[in-house]
Amino acid sequence: MPLEIEIHHNSYVQNTDAVTVKLFGSLDTATAPELERQLSPVLAGTVKDLVFDLAQLKFISSAGLRVFSITRRQLKDRDGQAVFVCLQPQIKEVFEIIEALPGLSVFRDLDELDAYLTARQQAHEEKT
């Protein structure tokens, strides 16, 4: 099954400079390199937070989890994070089984993510 990738800059999540990556299809050994290729210019920029919308992701393999892990590590190094929303039951089960990626943030839906990001930004503003 192929993988379709949509990258949305500052347009999907409210009140944040996050970039949203919507994945459709299968993230596996054959398709993970394309995701890495498309993420490369995004990660080369100043983005701190990535939102992976997995509502239409039907399958993920260890190669896909590796891309998430590498991305998460790169963002963490710049005090950012990768978060995951709208997981299909089979994808959620994979994340639960491996309790993937220590510090992983998974949200029920975009409203829950928006509330979290708003609180995070408000806490940051209070510090300054």
pLDDT at 54: 95
The maximal CA–CA distance of the chain, rounded, in angstroms, is 47
Q: Say if CB 107 and CB 7 are below 8 A apart.
A: no
Q: What is the reported pTM?
A: 0.74
At residue 4, does pLDDT exceed 90? yes
CA–CA dist 10, 26 (Å, integer): 25
Map out the domains of the chain with their CATH numbers: 3-127 (3.30.750.24)
Residue-wise pLDDT tens digits, 24-44: 999 988 999 999 999 999 999
Ramachandran angles phi, psi of 53, nearest 5°? -90, 110
At residue 117, does pLDDT exceed 60? no
Which whole number is the average pLDDT over 41-49?
A: 89
CA–CA dist 27, 46 (Å, integer): 25
pLDDT at 66: 87
pLDDT at 91: 85
CA–CA dist 1, 25 (Å, integer): 6
